[in-house]
Chain A
Amino acid sequence: MKLKLSRRQTMQMLTSLPFFHFSPKAVAFSHRTEQSEAVVLVTLNSPTSQAFAHKASSMLDSVQLVVDINQIDTFSSLNSLPKNILLIGLISEAEKILVDTFVQNRRGYLKTSGYLHEGNYTASKLDELLDASIQHAMGTSKASHTEVLGAGNLSSFFAYI
């Protein structure tokens, strides 16, 4: 499900949805289990980002939030998300900086898990980025507390609100 909502609509929508869980259901958030099980996929309306979202949504019960620097309300929605939400996505640098800003305002944190060039991806590369995001989010990756070096105009990330 893709979301393009106003700030007011977002809260209404999210509180009315059945909540989202990692799937397979056996996957838990290790020490974060109690903190968050809700997942929002943050994407661009671009082919690569959407391919990432498609792959992610096949693994995770989630909703999708499409962000765009030309539409300010797509970011404002992040102000209205309930607490204890996990965000995962593959977006450009500009959008990532803005998502990070909204996450910081909620006293959350965002970490980059990898990089990729738009239009230059393979299914295995998307798998790799998605896996890295999930592993980092679960705190099972040694790199989970450091920013990742690399190149590409899209960044995969995870964030907690």
Chain B
Amino acid sequence: MADFNILPQGISAQDFGNAIDEYAAVVGDDNVFVSAENLASYNKIMIPADNFDHAPSAAIAPASTEEVQAIINICDKYTIPVWPISTGKNFGYGSAACATRGQIILDLRRMNRILEVDADLGTALVEPGVTYQQLKDYLVENNIPLWLSPPAPSAIASPLGNAIDRGVGYTPYGDNFFFSCGMEVVLANGEILRTGMGGMPNSNTWQVFKWGYGPYLDGIFTQSNYGVVTKLGMWLMPEPPAFKPFVIRFPNDSDIEKAIDIMRPLRIAQIIPNAVVIAHALWEGGSEVVRSDYYQGEGSISDEAVERMKADLGMGAWNIYAGLYGTPEQIELNWNIVTGAFAGSGATIQEEADLVGNSTFDYRAKLMRGDMTLKEFGLYNWRGGGGSAWFAPVAQAKGSEGLRQMELAKEILGRYGFDYVAEYIVGWREGHHIIDLLFNRNDPEEAQRANQCFNELLDEFTARGWGSYRTNIAFMDKVADSFGTVKKDVNQSIKRALDPKGIIAPGKSGIYT
């Protein structure tokens, strides 16, 4: 019998050994991992939490839906919890690690087939292990003029994984779950559910009509643990005849109020159709330079240092990245509307021609046209030490709300000695307020301080009615609690109905059996 480092809770070494043998019979010995060396990569986290609490007992890498079914059946037989990942690149939210210690990682990277792309309808059907780079390469190699809408880690991330965690991209198709259509889900009893139109034999409308008949189910398989999503339909944006990226810079932190209020009607009217980013100076600078070049004192970076950095890099306190899409005539018309809206606001508007060779503008423009870039990883150089935790409250798209959230976040972060590295991603009527709590994970005291800071951010934002749209594996219970007991009870009732033994991802989004 193998010598296991970690056992799933309540499972004997004998039973776990038997289960491991059965998994190996399904996927082959080469795709079952139990040694500490092989499991190390599944336990690399950037969040301020103890690796011990999120260490897996094993990892299994199936290559097909049928193998996933067989694994789930074995998990059901032994009551072994299993944590599915697509490519495991959920940096700052827990990466590939499980919410609770001892789960086995269901690593779906080998399921990396692009099953269908319909160039006329602008749809795709993909497996979990497909990356944005892979899908982009496929479109280019086959000369298919469709765009993707990747999040900032783009090339290495999974479209399926991002959509079912309700992540965002930056094109007009930026809400990735909103632009998904149809799922295949392996349920805890081993059955396969196809949502929407997918349940009907011979249907050819699975990827074009979301709602199907009766209750719309796709949503309950996002940010949840009710099944293992093994296929996802996506809507892809036709390449427009023309695209015009631009940036609008406001000089002062308090200008966030004007920035959001001027932007909101342009977004709601779809004059500006893409997921607009309003990036703070420390996000802009943080991906370009290192903190110690500007500030080596105690506590959060000084205002004076931020002003020097802004001047050096030619950026504002707030920098709005947006794009216009369509025919040249449409763009010209909408450009006049946009420039007119911001006239007299104190903002500076810059177009592509004004920013030739500006690497920050280039990467933002790439994201807005669905291209691959890794530039935003530069944020991890800002402070160094590999610590990152995304705090992601939602705000109404009103300037007064944006200002209040910024002031509260800066005050709390400042008390703990951290910097306000933030951006707003403006949807139609709301803003995802994304704050990267960057810290040195190699310094135990600083990591502990980051944990306390994250806790206080959650407490204070919750007290004001501002909920998080997403959180990391160490804080899922706390965020679930913030949405009230009835929501939590309903989540649990659905879990008990679909997964009575609680084998799929216990703890995901604070949901247990």
Interface residues, chain A, CB within 8 Å of chain B?
69-70, 72, 75-76, 92-98, 100-102, 104-105, 107, 109, 115, 117-118, 145, 147-153
Contact = CB atoms under 8 A, between A and B. Distances in A.
B377 interface: yes
B89 A152 contact: no
Contacts of A92: 380-381, 384
Interface of B: 36-38, 40-41, 44, 87-89, 91, 109, 133, 155-156, 290, 292, 359, 363, 372-375, 377-381, 384-386, 440, 442-443
Given A72-B372, A101-B156, A149 B442 contact: yes
Contacts of A93: 380-381, 384-386
Contacts of A107: 38
A76 to B, nearest CB: 8
B36 A145 contact: yes
A115 to B, nearest CB: 7
A104 B41 contact: yes
A92 B88 CA distance: 22
A96 B363 CA distance: 20
A69 B292 contact: no
Given A93-B380, A105-B109, A69 B442 contact: no
B378 A100 contact: no
Contacts of A101: 89, 156
Contacts of A151: 384-385, 440, 442-443
B379 A100 contact: no
A147 B441 CA distance: 11
Contacts of A76: 133, 155
17 contacts: A69-B377, A70-B363, A72-B373, A93-B385, A93-B386, A97-B91, A98-B377, A100-B41, A109-B41, A145-B37, A147-B442, A148-B442, A149-B443, A151-B384, A152-B384, A153-B292, A153-B381
Given A70-B359, A101-B156, A94 B442 contact: no
Nearest to B387: A93
Contacts of B36: 145
Nearest to A101: B156
Given A70-B359, A109-B40, A97 B380 contact: yes
Contacts of A148: 442
Contacts of A75: 374
Contacts of B38: 107, 109
Question: Lowest 3 A-B CB distances belong to which pairs?
Answer: A94-B377, A104-B41, A153-B384
Contacts of A153: 290, 292, 381, 384
Contact of B155 (A70, A72, A115, A152): A72
A153 B440 CA distance: 10
A147 B378 CA distance: 22
B298 to A, nearest CB: 15
A69 B374 contact: yes
Contacts of A109: 37-38, 40-41
Contacts of B385: 93, 151
B381 A100 contact: no
A97 B384 contact: no
A107 B377 CA distance: 22
A75 B155 CA distance: 10
Contacts of B377: 69, 94-95, 97-98
A117 B296 CA distance: 13
Contacts of B359: 70
Contacts of B37: 109, 145
Residue among B292, B359, B363 having the largest count of chain A Cβ atoms under 10 Å: B292
Nearest to B373: A72
A69 B378 contact: yes
A21 B236 CA distance: 47
Contact of A150 (B41, B374, B379, B442): B442
A72 B374 contact: yes
Contacts of B374: 69-70, 72, 75, 98
B32 to A, nearest CB: 12
A150 B443 CA distance: 7
A67 B89 CA distance: 19
A76 B134 CA distance: 11
Contacts of B378: 69, 94
A102 B88 CA distance: 12
B492 to A, nearest CB: 34
A118 B289 CA distance: 12
Nearest to B30: A107
Contacts of B87: 105
Contacts of A98: 156, 374, 377
A93 B384 CA distance: 6
A101 B96 CA distance: 11
B74 to A, nearest CB: 22
Residue among A92, A107, A153 having the largest count of chain B Cβ atoms under 10 Å: A153
B165 to A, nearest CB: 17
Contacts of B381: 92-94, 153
A1 B375 CA distance: 26
Residue among B40, B363, B379 having the largest count of chain A Cβ atoms under 10 Å: B40
B373 A94 contact: no
B362 to A, nearest CB: 8
Contacts of B89: 101
B258 to A, nearest CB: 32
A115 B386 CA distance: 12
A76 B137 CA distance: 13
Given A72-B372, A153-B292, 7 more contacts: A69-B378, A70-B375, A93-B381, A97-B377, A109-B40, A148-B442, A149-B443
A152 B384 CA distance: 7
Nearest to B377: A94
A150 B384 CA distance: 11
Contacts of A102: 156
Residue among B88, B155, B380 having the largest count of chain A Cβ atoms under 10 Å: B380
